Chains A and B, each alone.
Chain A
Amino acid sequence: MATEELTSAVQEHHTSTGLDNTKMAMWGFLGSECLFFGSLISTYLLYRNQTADGPNSADLYDIPYTSVSSFVLLMSSLTMVLALAACHRKDQRGMRAWLLATALLGMVFIGGQIYEFTEFAHEGLSLEVSPFGSSFYVLTGFHGAHVTVGILMLLLLVGMSMFNRLGPDDSRKVELIGLYWHFVDIVWIIIFTVVYLIPS
């Protein structure tokens, strides 16, 4: 949410540390997010074998499938980098194209997650059935929510650029949302490793 304040109040072009205010704020926010996901992942690790009467992870996980959707999300970091590069070149159209591509890849990932959740639900995994189910859905669900917020911000950027609400020196906004996006990607890499790859 820290990104919403995109311009600092007193338009200081220099700051005491030389770092940009909004960027420092984003780093702080992401630091806080580390603890957020850290706590969720710890909960999952504690409960991954507490399956009660429900299915366990070996019954459910489809590693090839999730690997593909993870790859899609990884690629979206690449397109994000390209969007920022276009922005630095003052190539507004290129930037919009890459931002849209990033958002689309994000949507594919979310689509994949929705499909996965539905599958798992069919196989009997729910919030109610076991601590494993609760911690799996809440961890991956919060990650999905972060991706969704990222997609909304990307689309907002595209919209602002189309209606000329982005000035030429507003590359900072793209950079900030890029930071957030990469962070959410990295969190997914960790979740993918810890949740899907490490056998229980």
Chain B
Amino acid sequence: MATAAAQGSLFRRPTATTGWWGWVTTVDHKKIGIMYCATALAFFVIGGLEALAIRAQLAVPNGTTLTAETYNQFFTMHGLTMIFLVVMPLGVGIMNYLAPLMIGARDVAFPRINAFSYWVFLAGGLFLYSSFFLGGAPDGGWFGYAPLSTQLPGNGMTFYALGLQILGVASLLGAVNFIVTILNMRAPGMTLMRMPVFIWMTLVTAFLLLFAMPVIAVALFELMFDRVYNANFFNPAAGGDPVLWQHLFWLFGHPEVYIMILPAMGIISDVLPTFSRKPIFGYAAIVFAGIAIGFMGWGVWAHHMFAVGLGPVANSAFALSTMFIAVPTGVKIFNWLGTMWKGDLHFTPPMLFSIGFVAMFIIGGLSGVTHAIVPSDAQQTDTYYIVAHFHYVLFGGAIFGLFSGIYYWWPKVSGRLLSDGLGKLHFWLMFIGFNLAFGPMHILGLEGMPRRTYTYPDGMGWNLWNIVSTVGAFIIAVSIAIFFVNAIITARRGREAGADPWDGRTLEWSIPSPPPEYNFAEVPIVKARDDFWHRKYVVKPDEYVPVVAGGAVAEHEDDEHDPGHGIHLPAPSFFPAAAALGLPVMAFGVIYSWPLLIVGGLVLLLGLFGWVLEPSEVEH
């Protein structure tokens, strides 16, 4: 079907930019960004429902809401969903929408690859979830430890190996695209040290993805060969070493936690200055701390393996490096506090979420340092204490930061303001619910409650905190519902936002909301960090010599009334979506029958073939 459509466009390329086809064939970074965010929010709801089911099961001892099998599938899919289908794509979606706007570009470097990345991501997510209908979802944890993951019956963990592989393709291509975009597509005057902090963190994230994805790809391939083709990578009986899986997984896995947190750190580094009405405190320090994290993040992975028995030397070395990496993280915290210090604080919803990030992330960072200490980690590992830690950094950190970004840029994207009151209600409910849900897990963990276990006996002293935690989870659910209500109500009746509702500092606020397809009618010339702020408050506007769109000034003098005219935009294309369809078909082929593998491969090849032959712009 899709190939037929693809064939058609060999002769006639899509022109519609509205309606369904407009979305399927778009290569506009803004539309792709919106699709990423919308898809990620849908998965957020699904992953959230799984979490509620888990908490319902654990509310009381000997719970019977879920069976052990379903519980294992739910906690695995919950983790996979939140990491790969929510936090990462939300970050990528916001980057997609904003990176070109913030650096003064008309699109990303490779718009069709960008569209391809989105469709591959969607295909990967749907492929993972199709496992529920095909005999059972992955059930060996998001970390997929071998040899459990190689031996679990059913196809669940094969879906895991292949699904993450597909998602990895999307991430890798996205990383290349963003690196080139940020390094190469900056407007005149936008030097590296004038870039918004969010752009810097995006760049570091892209490099982390670039080097982390191939490592997990190899691990997943090895898992796939073990499961499907009886290879012996992780089979101890034949001399295979399960610890190899752990090394490969965490060599990817620790950079991955920074992949999730750095975009959120970038967001709040742009939100806090706006609502403190001060520039970011210590720009260079926060940038270099981000880069330092990007390097040091590669030298700490074995702190996830303290209990494996790597020996005292390795354990001590990784304990030290782990404590060390908390230093650049701490630097950033002081940057944020310094930014707010003596600022003229405006407690809007995005600001509240940013402050929430800082507060919750400090707690998560401190518990992180406690398990950098090997003897103390021996007590903590595999208990709810760990669950508390990573939810404070991932939910209290990443999700709060991403919501800060959503509230902050919503008016830019939709052209309408969200309700402030409902936004604040969302924040406070989420903040309270979050701390009720995850705070008590510290205590439960220290009291010895193991994680990844579907039930617990009565009389362990764990009953009270478990019920509290479950209540907290449901409060979070209510708060998220309020967010969606807010979005729906204001979509029709919200106030017009105007170009610059927050009195912002960065370039995206200098253009209309929602921005026109070509972003900037005139490519801005950047003269300072926080350029737009200086244009509003310091520099007189007539000092600027704008570059007229589409090239030479003289050529376009006559169409001044139509600012978009003459700007060459990349044309829509069917091929990215068509080619992406090939990947899940191939993956089904690996699981069920090899002819499908060939069919999928052909779809992918034909899609790419048509893509190469199609010019990226329509000829005039």
Q: Is the CB of A11 within 8 A of B110?
A: no
When chains A and B are docked, how far (Å) is the Cα of A44 from the Cα of B570? 44
Using an 8 Å CB-CB cutoff, how does the interface string of A27-48 with B read, 1 for contact, 0 for none?
A: 0110111011001100100110
When chains A and B are docked, how far (Å) is the Cα of A9 from the Cα of B211? 25
When chains A and B are docked, how far (Å) is the Cα of A82 from the Cα of B238? 48
For A113, the chain B residues whose CB sits under 8 A away are none
Q: How many A-B residue pairs have CB under 8 A?
A: 159
Of A5, A17, A138, which is within 8 A of B221 by CB? Answer: A138
The contact size tier of chain B is 35 or more
For B180, the chain A residues whose CB sits under 8 A away are 21, 24-25, 28
Q: Is the CB of B214 within 8 A of A24?
A: no
Is B229 among interface residues, defined by CB-CB distance under 8 A?
yes
When chains A and B are docked, how far (Å) is the Cα of A40 from the Cα of B230? 18
Q: Is the CB of A10 within 8 A of B570?
A: yes
Is A4 among interface residues, defined by CB-CB distance under 8 A?
yes
Is A161 among interface residues, defined by CB-CB distance under 8 A?
no
Partner-binding segment picked from A72-80, A83-91, A101-109, A123-131: A123-131
Q: Is the CB of B176 within 8 A of A21?
A: no
When chains A and B are docked, how far (Å) is the Cα of A11 from the Cα of B111? 12
Q: Is the CB of B185 within 8 A of A11?
A: no
Of B184, B222, B244, B617, which is within 8 A of A11 by CB? Answer: B617
Q: Is the CB of B176 within 8 A of A43?
A: no
Q: Is the CB of B222 within 8 A of A138?
A: yes
Is B232 among interface residues, defined by CB-CB distance under 8 A?
yes
Q: Is the CB of A133 within 8 A of B232?
A: yes
Is B329 among interface residues, defined by CB-CB distance under 8 A?
no
Is B177 among interface residues, defined by CB-CB distance under 8 A?
yes
* B226-245 interface (Cβ within 8 A of A): 226, 229-233, 235, 238-241, 244
Is A15 among interface residues, defined by CB-CB distance under 8 A?
yes
For B238, the chain A residues whose CB sits under 8 A away are 50, 52, 129-131
Partner-binding segment picked from B101-109, B135-143, B444-452: B101-109
Is A134 among interface residues, defined by CB-CB distance under 8 A?
yes
Most chain A CB neighbours (cut-off 10 Å) among B108, B110, B248: B110
Q: Is the CB of A52 within 8 A of B185?
A: no
Contact A9/B210 with A28-B179, A39-B248, A138-B231 known, Cβ cut-off 8 Å: no
For B229, the chain A residues whose CB sits under 8 A away are 127-128
Q: Tell me the smallest distance from the CB of B6 to a CB of chain A, in Å.
A: 14
Q: Tell me the smallest distance from the CB of B582 to a CB of chain A, in Å.
A: 12
Is B186 among interface residues, defined by CB-CB distance under 8 A?
yes
Of A17, A21, A40, A133, which is within 8 A of B110 by CB? Answer: A21
Most chain B CB neighbours (cut-off 10 Å) among A16, A130, A156: A16
For B179, the chain A residues whose CB sits under 8 A away are 24-25, 28
Of B27, B184, B214, B225, which is within 8 A of A33 by CB? Answer: B214
* B413-472 interface (Cβ within 8 A of A): none
When chains A and B are docked, how far (Å) is the Cα of A4 from the Cα of B573? 14
Is A7 among interface residues, defined by CB-CB distance under 8 A?
yes
Nearest neighbor of B191 in chain A, beta-carbon distance: A16
Task: Report which B residues bind A (CB closer than 8 A).
Answer: 27, 105-113, 169, 172-173, 175-177, 179-180, 183-186, 190, 210-211, 213-215, 217-219, 221-222, 225-226, 229-233, 235, 238-241, 244, 248, 568-570, 608-609, 611-613, 615-617
List 10 tightest A-B contacts by C-beta distance, closest first.
Answer: A50-B239, A36-B214, A134-B231, A39-B218, A15-B184, A9-B570, A35-B214, A5-B110, A16-B186, A127-B231
